[in-house]
Structure 1
Amino acid sequence: MNRFHVHLNVADLATSIRFYTALFASEPTVRKDDYAKWMLEDPRVNFAISSTGRAPGVDHLGIQADSAEALAALGHRLDAAGGGLVPEQATVCCYARSDKLWTEDPQGTRWETFHTLGEATTYYAGEAPCATDGATCSPDLRAAKPKVDKGTGCCVPASGCC
């Protein structure tokens, strides 16, 4: 079963961790100097916060897929919704290694669909040729060129990143 994902930028990580720990009645599953994540079952959500210098508020929304096949199916749905897809293969972000597809909704809200492959020791690997926004591991979708397979209408596997 896929899991809804919410990532917020926060000004004060420690205060935010206290607030969300009380709200969720649960300690973070992952806790770092600049990041915390709760993998909740009720509601089933991957809720993450970080203090990486971006303006406080919603950074992005997303769906965490349980498998590569589920990620591909989400890619087809995103394509049908009309968003240009920006794939990232085996990228390091938020202390995890993941395959991802990024898009924006009509209002400009960034959406990340991803399948986690394992843990990482850093928040962001900063590997080229990703077109990142410089403050986080998510790509600058306006600078990145969406990659779509004209035959299938879905994401084109890329070596490395965008």
Structure 2
Amino acid sequence: MSRIQLALNVSNLDSAVDFYSKLFGTEPAKRHPGYANFAIAEPPLKLVLMENPGATEKLNHLGIEVESSEMVALASDRLQQNDLAIKPETQTTCCYALQDKIWTKDPDGADWEVYTVLADSNTFGEFPQTAEPVCCA
């Protein structure tokens, strides 16, 4: 099953988790300090909350979660055939998961990812010198 992902910057994770748990009638599928995600069955949605009180934008990024690395490769081929630039990332740790993914940008600069989760991870991702995460940044 594929589903849309919506990743939001939130100022207070506990308040956001409380609100979205009530809104969608479910608890987070994954929760770590500063991070939570919901795997919502109806409507099919992966809602990701990232505690980021200084963010100037509510939207962090958008995505499409797919079932396999093969589906990521098919999406990559399709986007490139339609003249969209992509940035591939394989075997990358992001959002407490090992993933294969590609990134593209919409005409207004919004980041979209097509990804599959290969395994859970105990770490959020890589942090370079800037202290900003490599993934989902």
| 2:134 alignment partner in structure 1 | 137
Residue 69 of structure 1, CA deviation: 1.4
**1 CA distance for matches of 2:56 and 2:130?**
13
Question: Which piece of structure 1 moves more, 80-89 or 102-111?
Answer: 80-89
In structure 2, what residue type is equivalent to 1:70?
M
Task: Compare the two structures and name the one with the higher strand fraction.
Answer: 2
| TM-score normalised by L of structure 2 | 0.89
| 1:117 alignment partner in structure 2 | 118
| 1:39 alignment partner in structure 2 | 39
**1 CA distance for matches of 2:55 and 2:21?**
22
SS of 1:79's equivalent in the other structure is: helix
SS of 2:19's equivalent in the other structure is: helix
Q: Is the 8 A contact 1:11 1:56 kept in 2?
A: no
In structure 1, what residue type is equivalent to 2:16?
S
Structure 2: segments with no counterpart, 5+ residues: none
Q: 1:97 to 1:84 in 2, by over 3 A?
A: same
Q: 1:61 to 1:81 in 2, by over 3 A?
A: farther
Q: How many pairs does the alignment contain?
A: 136
| 2:19 alignment partner in structure 1 | 19
Give the fraction of aligned pairs with identical amino acids, expressed as a percent. 32
Q: Is the 8 A contact 2:125 2:135 kept in 1?
A: no
| TM-score normalised by L of structure 1 | 0.76
CA-atom RMSD in angstroms: 2.1
Structure 1: segments with no counterpart, 5+ residues: 141-162
